[in-house]
């Protein structure tokens, strides 16, 4: 049966029935909850509405965490979502750098929390490696993975099927890592690249090619990559010359990538066109949210719906684009994460969006209520 089968007999639908009719029954659920660690209960409540409601009814509360990468400052920040205060700040340890490197070589990009050990894994853009930070206090633990020669600019990172996946922008490829027995390090297993992920530059002056930015795991266990198409390393590129899409990479049972296909975006209509998409996230219902450099966040139907990849609406817009150009000093969205809700910030689900401006970066994290 295909992994993208949306019939009533699909694995996703079967899992939904099992979770609703069995796991969430009054007889079974209490027996499960008592064996969960606090972190496991939090992770489950973030993706399962039924469990979230039951935990709330039983007055199970927790402090939400907001971990943000600040690339130019070379640090990983643990912020209080309500006040914005910095709870922990981590910079790369000197032992993670080569002798001829400086701290500025860190330049962190993508970050993902491992569902297996609770640690944070951060892409080192200029160092071509992945660094590991302890989940409790963001203390540096070491280099978790390194890329073979010739692959640079790691951007998106996520976990699925007990593997670590990282997408490199130069050249466009998805690397699969699996933890080696006895060493604790992730070893490179294979790289996957197609015309969807990599298109050679037409010329070196403008570099018109495909560039993958963000990546996340979908509700079907496959990988979803925010892809810029026809990238141009030129300033003030008109909006109508910038486009992008979301690419899905299908995995087999062992976590190997077997194929890629365009999922949504780049269809020509103004409301559906993604402009340099970079941030990508799913909600508990399986809907997809993608950032666009038009200063917006767009919403699409998820892979398990009747019309996967269909544009739904613009869920957030800040008006940073005027006459096909970024307004001076505008904060433009780069990453987005769906959150089930934070006590003290409205009621209900939120979109947490990181926004920045160029050339002098003044980053901000903003919360958008989903009504």
pLDDT at 164 (0 to 100): 92
Average pLDDT over residues 35-55: 58
**What mean pLDDT value characterizes the chain?**
72
pLDDT band per the 50, 70, 90 thresholds, residue 362: low
Distance (Å, whole) CA 294 – CA 276: 9
The 10 Å Cβ neighbour count of residue 276 is 23
CA-closest candidate to residue 356, choices 335, 328, 333, 339: 333
Segment 100-155, tens digit of pLDDT:
555 555 678 889 988 888 899 998 877 778 889 998 888 888 888 888 777 777 88
Give yes or no for a contact between 139 and 150, defined as CB atoms under 8 angstroms apart: no
Per-residue pLDDT of 226-280, as tens digits, reads 988 776 655 556 666 678 889 999 998 888 888 888 898 765 555 566 888 889 9
More confident residue, 17 or 357: 357
Q: Are 145 and 188 in contact (CB under 8 A)?
A: yes
Instruction: Yes or no: say if 203 and 217 are a contact pair by the CB < 8 Å rule.
Output: no
* Contacts of residue 202, Cβ cutoff 8 Å, sequence gap at least 6: 208, 209
Beta carbons of 136 and 195 less than 8 angstroms apart: no
Any residues with CB less than 8 A from the CB of 163 and at least 6 apart, and which?
Answer: 176, 177, 178, 189, 255
Q: Which residue has the higher pLDDT, 205 or 117?
A: 117
Sign of the C-alpha dihedral, residues 311, 167, 369, 70? negative
3-state per-residue secondary structure call for the chain: CCCCCCCCCCHHHHHHHHHHHHHCCCCCHHHHHCCCCHHHHHHHHHHCHHHHHHHHHCCCCCCCCEEEEECCCCEEEEECCCCCCEEEEEECCHHHCCCCCCHHHCCEEEEEECCCCCCEEEEECCCCEEEEECCCCCCEEEEEEECCCCCEEEEEEEEECCEEEEEEEECEEEEEEEECCCCCCEEEEEEECCCCCCCCCCCCCCCCEEEEEEEEECCCCCEEEEEEEEECCCCCCCHHHCEEEEEEEEECCCCCEEEEEEEECCCCCCCCCCCCCCCEEECCCCCEEEEECCCEEEEECCCCCCCCCCEEEEEEECCCEECCEECCCCCEEEEEEEECCECCECCCCEEEEEEECCCCCCCEEEEEECC
User: What is the per-residue pLDDT for 296?
Assistant: 86
For residue 226, the model assigns a pLDDT of 92
Comparison of pLDDT for 231 and 168, the residue scoring more: 168
> What pLDDT shows up at residue 85?
81
Count other C-beta atoms under 10 Å from residue 182's C-beta.
6
**CA–CA gap between residue 266 and residue 245 (Å, rounded):** 5
Residue range 63-193 forms a domain whose CATH class is mainly beta
Highest-confidence segment of 57-61, 71-75, 183-187: 71-75
> Is the separation of the CB atoms in 229 and 243 below 8 Å?
yes
The residue extents of the domains of the chain are 1-61, 63-193, 195-371
Whether the CB-CB separation of 138 and 88 falls below 8 Å is answered with yes
Say what percent of the chain tops pLDDT 90: 10
């Amino acid at each position: 049966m295909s992994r993208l089968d949306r019939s009533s007999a699909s694995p996703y639908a079967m899992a939904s029935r099992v979770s609703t009719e069995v796991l969430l029954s009054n007889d079974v659920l209490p027996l499960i909850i008592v064996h969960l660690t606090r972190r496991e209960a939090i992770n489950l409540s973030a993706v399962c509405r039924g469990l979230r409601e039951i935990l709330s009814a039983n007055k199970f509360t927790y402090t939400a965490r907001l971990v943000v990468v600040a690339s130019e400052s070379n640090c990983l920040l643990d912020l209080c979502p309500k006040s914005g205060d910095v709870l922990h700040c981590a910079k790369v340890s000197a032992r993670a750098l080569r002798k001829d490197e400086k701290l500025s070589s860190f330049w962190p990009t993508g970050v993902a929390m491992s569902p297996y050990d609770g640690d944070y894994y951060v892409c080192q853009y200029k160092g071509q490696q992945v660094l590991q930070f302890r989940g409790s206090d963001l203390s540096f633990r070491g280099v978790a993975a390194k890329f073979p020669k010739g692959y640079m600019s790691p951007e998106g990172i996520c976990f699925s099927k007990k593997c670590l996946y990282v997408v490199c922008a130069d050249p466009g490829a998805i690397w699969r890592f699996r933890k080696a027995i006895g060493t604790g390090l992730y070893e490179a297993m294979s790289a996957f690249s197609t015309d969807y992920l990599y298109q050679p530059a037409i010329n070196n002056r403008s570099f018109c090619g495909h560039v993958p930015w963000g990546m996340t795991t979908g509700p079907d266990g496959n990988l979803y990559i925010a892809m810029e198409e026809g990238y141009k390393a030129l300033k003030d590129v008109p909006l109508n010359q910038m486009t992008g899409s979301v690419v899905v990479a299908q995995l087999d049972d062992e976590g190997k990538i077997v194929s890629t296909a365009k999922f949504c975006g780049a269809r020509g209509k103004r409301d559906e066109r993604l402009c340099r998409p970079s941030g990508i996230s799913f909600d508990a219902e399986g809907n997809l949210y993608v950032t666009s450099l038009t200063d917006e966040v767009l919403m699409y139907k998820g892979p398990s719906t009747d019309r996967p990849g269909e544009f739904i609406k613009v869920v957030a817009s800040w008006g940073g684009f005027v006459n096909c150009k970024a307004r001076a000093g505008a904060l433009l969205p780069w990453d987005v994460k769906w959150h089930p809700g934070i006590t003290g910030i409205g009621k209900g689900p939120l979109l947490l969006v990181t926004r920045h401006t160029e050339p002098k970066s003044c980053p901000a994290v903003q919360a958008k209520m989903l009504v």
